[in-house]
Structure 1
């Protein structure tokens, strides 16, 4: 079974100037909720089970789901209060049936080959595999450094870089990770797992130079409205 968690509980604070009061994943892009493009991607990539991690105004997402026909099973969890990215992922993993799951952000589209990414993850026997996007002239994202074996050795803070690799917001996570680590209910996946345990667990980065967009700011939201026309 090929499973994917979509983190779809975001407030969309930075998009309030261009998007009505809906969860970020439901922001309309080229006439469709952004979540529809993520579902279409999941269908094209052969996923069997999608788990939505919901929070802010989750009822809007559930109502929309009832109008959709999908070629995969859809489950969801809903936070009663914000749990942070780590808490949201940990809660969603209670619905995962297999030994691993993809995790993607509900406001990011990274058009990667999921089969090759999964093969990489299993070959490395990784606890966490991170899809990395090469970027040029950026300061909006932190950068990631790898060793010769593609193990992640450093997460750098946001600063201007002429070129580098960024975290593309797509992961494959081994389910056993959450029993290996002692974790609170509310925590940051990036800070409290990946950065804090960088030397204690297997975290590998897979470089993929495919189409990538993060609709989290108005300028890229407007770009997505152009890019996704006709899709």
Structure 2
């Protein structure tokens, strides 16, 4: 299994400003540590050896914390010269990788999926790009994802209330070569400009993991993280 990942941590975090002012989301305090601390320790536990942080807003705070903290794995940094979108941030970080295969992780999400099992699923499906999906009940904040035979993703549905469904868990597995082959613009959305168009290929696969998931992008879930991640 690859031991490298890109962590997307360049967003502005505007919805979290009411409780966490002047910090990038990954630096939002959870107990005695920033959220990023828990994410890096999760990744180390899962076998990651090298994380590339794709940074933008308040990047100096993240870099300073990393340089003054004993980290469980090697960390590199790329800083966007301007906001590049989730997709542009990924592409800008690719040259910092040592290898080709890479996990991509949302820096404001903690999803306790088993990455070795996810990798085995990805290899077995021979997919160029796979997503980790979280089953969820009674939600309207997220769009839902439909699966067909053999866990092929058949549709991304817009946000609406669902009694039960699958959501994008914010963990992806692909290769730098595959992403470079798509001829993408400098600034783009990974979700809208890569994931959704790839549905038509029939080669986009979803790995379902019903494990702990929290997205700290809104104050309510940020408060929930305070109770769980410290335990």
Match of 1:216 in 2: 217
Deviations 1:142-185, CA, capped at 9 Å, x for gaps: 00011111111100000011110000111112222123211100
Structure with greater proportional helix content? 2
CA deviation after TM superposition for structure 1 residue 201, in Å: 6.6
Alignment of 1:18-167 (within 5 A): 18-167=19-168
Q: Structure 1 regions of 5+ residues with no counterpart?
A: none
Indicate conservation of the 8 Å contact 1:131/1:168, yes or no: yes
Change (3 A) 1:71 1:30: closer
TM-score by length of 2: 0.96
The 10-residue stretch of structure 1 (199-208 or 158-167) with the greater mean CA deviation from structure 2: 199-208
Q: Structure 2 regions of 5+ residues with no counterpart?
A: none
Deviations 1:182-202, CA, capped at 9 Å, x for gaps: 110000101111112322372
Q: What number of residue pairs does the alignment pair up?
A: 230
Task: Name the CA distance, whole Å, in 2 between partners of 1:201 and 1:148.
Answer: 10
Task: Name the CA distance, whole Å, in 1 between partners of 2:123 and 2:95.
Answer: 21
Match of 1:11 in 2: 12
Indicate conservation of the 8 Å contact 1:151/1:202, yes or no: yes
Considering only aligned residues, what root-mean-square deviation do their CA atoms show, in Å? 1.2
Task: Name the CA distance, whole Å, in 2 between partners of 1:173 and 1:91.
Answer: 15
Task: Name the CA distance, whole Å, in 1 between partners of 2:54 and 2:181.
Answer: 22
CA deviation after TM superposition for structure 1 residue 31, in Å: 2.1
Task: Name the CA distance, whole Å, in 2 between partners of 1:130 and 1:26.
Answer: 25
